């Protein structure tokens, strides 16, 4: 059984930083794409960042490019999202998810291509 547990969310002022973690069990983070998504109040969930099974390929939403960095520690079976220069519009619940496919290079932005999801962690950025 695959389980994903996010942590690291909280309240931060605009311009600040947070580092989110996603600890995985039941599947190794190096076996497929790991993605971060977010959902703001009243909005649909959206793709934020992804890292494929090779670990060398990453992909970001335009809204976070240059401010957020996705990485992983295979030894700890954990994926991270370093968020810098945070803005109030980054306020959302952040979720990590794992690709339904194994060992593909493509990093999907589509929710339906991710099979397992964490419970989410709240990030609130004050102005």
The backbone region for 18, taken as left when phi is positive above 0, alpha when psi lies in -120 to 50, beta otherwise, is: beta
pLDDT, residue 124, reads 98
Decide: residue 15, CB within 10 A, 0-12 exposed, 13-18 middle, 19+ buried.
exposed
Average pLDDT (20-46) is 96
Q: What is the pLDDT of residue 87?
A: 98
The residue written with tokens 């959206």 in the block is 46
Q: How many CB atoms lie within 10 A of CB 70?
A: 23
Q: Which two tokens stand for residue 114?
A: 């991710």
* pLDDT, position 94: 98
Average pLDDT over residues 51-64: 96
pLDDT digits (tens, 9 = 90+) for 87-101: 999 999 999 999 999
Strands 121-126 and 10-13: parallel
Judge contact between 104 and 33, C-beta under 8 A. yes
- Output the pLDDT for position 20: 98
Give me the pLDDT at residue 47, please.
Answer: 98
Average of per-residue pLDDT across 104-126 = 96
Average pLDDT value for residue range 56-82: 97
């Amino acid at each position: 059984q695959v389980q994903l547990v996010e942590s690291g969310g909280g309240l931060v002022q605009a311009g600040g930083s947070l580092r989110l973690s996603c600890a995985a069990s039941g599947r190794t983070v190096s076996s497929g794409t790991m993605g971060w998504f977010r959902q703001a109040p009243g909005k649909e969930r959206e793709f934020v960042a992804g890292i494929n099974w090779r670990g060398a390929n990453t992909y970001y939403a335009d809204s976070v490019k240059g401010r957020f960095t996705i990485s992983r520690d295979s030894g700890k079976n954990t994926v991270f999202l370093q968020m810098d220069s945070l803005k109030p519009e980054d306020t959302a619940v952040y979720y990590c998810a794992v690709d339904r496919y194994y060992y593909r290079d493509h990093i999907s932005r589509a929710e339906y291509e991710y099979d397992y999801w964490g419970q989410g962690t709240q990030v609130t950025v004050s102005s």
